[in-house]
Amino acid sequence: MDKIDFKQQKVKTALGLAQLPATNQQIKVYFSNRWIKIPLRSIVRLKGECNYTYVYTQNREYIAARTLKNFEKLLGEETFLRVHKSHIVNMMFVQGLNIQKNAGELRIEGGEHLGVSRRRLKDVINKLVFFHNS
């Protein structure tokens, strides 16, 4: 089993060296009968289920009537990474990656673990290593 840890992430963030989305970048989600603006830097991950997407922030969960593919186009690839057909993660919140044979599992801030699809594993490793080392 291989393991990649991104411990220096917090240090880079504190020093302002990491690639952070601009403070004014946000997405709008219709939630609870009103439009809510969610800053990109507070989004931890997104989970798609059919035509709905769950948007997870550090302290809240929202549901939007949009597909994950729609959000993928909005978010771009600088900070967000599609790791599975139903998951997009903010690379700033990734703490590590466990690799066994052709399978991968991401550790995200808050103790969550997400599977990485075999097809995307190599690309996920490359992008995470580049993101956390730049």
CATH code assigned at 78: 2.40.50.1020
Within 13 Å, how many C-alpha atoms sit on residue 39's CB side?
Answer: 9
pTM of the shown model: 0.81
| Number of domains present in the structure of the chain | 1
CA dihedral 73, 48, 55, 20 (to 10 degrees): -40
Residue 92 structure tokens: 């700033």
Contacts of residue 110, Cβ cutoff 8 Å, sequence gap at least 6: 44, 58, 93
The residue range of the domain holding 9 is: 2-17+24-133
Confidence check: pLDDT of 128 > 80: yes
pLDDT tens for residues 29-44?
887 888 999 999 999 9
CB 49 within 8 A of CB 86: yes
